[in-house]
Amino acid sequence: MFEKPVNSKKINPANNGAMQRGDAYARDTTAPLKLPGPSQRSSLGKRACILVLGVHRSGTSSLAHLVNLLGAKLPEKVLGPGHGNPLGHWEPVGLMEINEEILAVVGRSWNDPRSIPRSWFRSREAYAFHERIAAEITSSYGDAPLILIKEPRICRLAPLYLDVLDALRIEPLVILPVRHPGEVIRSIEERDQMDPRIAELLWLRSLLEVEEATRVCVRVWTSLEGLLEDWQRTVQSITDGLGITWPNEPAEVSDEVAEVVKPRHCHHRISDDPTLLALSSLTIRAWEAAQRGLDGDEDRARALFNEVRKPIWDIDRLSIPHEECIEKRFAEVGQQLQARDARVEQLQLDLSRLQSLLNERDSDGVQLRKQIDSLQRSACWRLTWPIRWLHEKARRAKSVFTKVHLD
């Protein structure tokens, strides 16, 4: 569920903007998080989940790969390389499939920027998915002390995942990777042929929702630009912000990281294409808020996000009734189309049955013609020809006689 934002004290910039969770998980992030070995029994605050929650095309895959190299566990089955991401996506396939189902249930998809009703996260339907997500995490990650979940769709579903982690007694540690919206928009437009205005709203909606939902978590902001320029500094920022000790020292995996984090893999740089700056005032303001988060000024970031969120909420409040009417009409039309398709299918079955009967009759006719031809070629037919001739003459004579008699 969406939780009421927890007021916090002024964040010390030295802590890289880390925000401590305002519930049972709140702790001193200046002390490294002590994680148990795989064989130890987990307890509250002893297991942790790093959530990489960034909008699509924001560099989340490279960041997730980096965090995995540092020792955070991923499940065996993750989404591999694909168009636009040749080094792999690193998204847990099981969770991704569940997320797709969730979005479908609420009438959305990954590329649909419309709001998700807050009330849904408290519904029985949501709880059913809560159980499935918990089972999938338990099955895929076992009792690993430090796990990693990277899935851009969770930006829209963060309240549900935070509830699941609470139930599993796993502490959520959130990384919010951001990238200039102009670069994200152009990247999505190129890969998915999406209208840039829709891509812009998707970026804005996803960022606003995940920022609000994770205010109760220990979190840290990172940027794709910073990751590509100096990945060691980004790792240090995450280390300090989340207060963890990595199973693998950064120096130990530097060679592997060098194969993953490469500046040439970043396209559509804002510095190379000034036309990317044609953005709405709300998007620009949200980007400014993200910058404050990167600077460690959490209070100012929240204030700016609140300013952007208010008109979005007002628009949602006014537009949702109309959207619901449209969705209802679409549902009705969908039912009509299903009924029509069922009727067409039945007519096709009837046509197939009639065609089969016609084929059978044609086959019977062919067989009868063959029998007649065979009979006419027989000796018996030739020998009885005079009798048939006399019979025909008699029939005609009888017909003439009957006609005369009636006249």
Q: How many CA atoms lie within 13 A of 41 on its CB side?
A: 0
Closest CA to 156 of 216, 194, 85, 100: 100
What is the CATH code of the structural domain delimited by 13-334? 3.40.50
Quote the CA–CA distance of 57 and 197 in Å, as a whole number: 16
Quote the CA–CA distance of 251 and 92 in Å, as a whole number: 27
How many residues make up the chain in this entry?
Answer: 407
Task: Name the amino acid, one letter, at 216.
Answer: V
Quote the CA–CA distance of 330 and 324 in Å, as a whole number: 10
Domain boundaries, the chain: 13-334, 364-406
Quote the CA–CA distance of 180 and 224 in Å, as a whole number: 9
For residues 305 and 212, the answer to whether their CB atoms sit within 8 Å is yes
Quote the CA–CA distance of 348 and 226 in Å, as a whole number: 61
Strand segments (E) across 226-302: none
Name the DSSP class of 92: B
- Encode the chain (407 residues) as per-residue pLDDT tens digits: 333 333 333 333 333 444 444 433 344 434 444 444 333 333 334 799 999 999 988 889 999 999 999 999 999 888 766 666 666 678 899 999 999 999 999 999 999 999 999 999 999 999 999 999 999 999 999 999 999 999 999 999 999 999 999 999 999 999 999 999 999 998 888 888 899 999 999 999 999 999 999 999 999 999 999 998 999 999 999 999 999 999 999 999 999 988 888 766 666 666 666 665 689 999 999 999 999 999 999 999 999 999 999 999 898 888 878 777 877 887 888 889 988 999 999 988 888 888 888 888 888 788 888 877 787 777 777 777 787 777 777 777 777 777 766 66
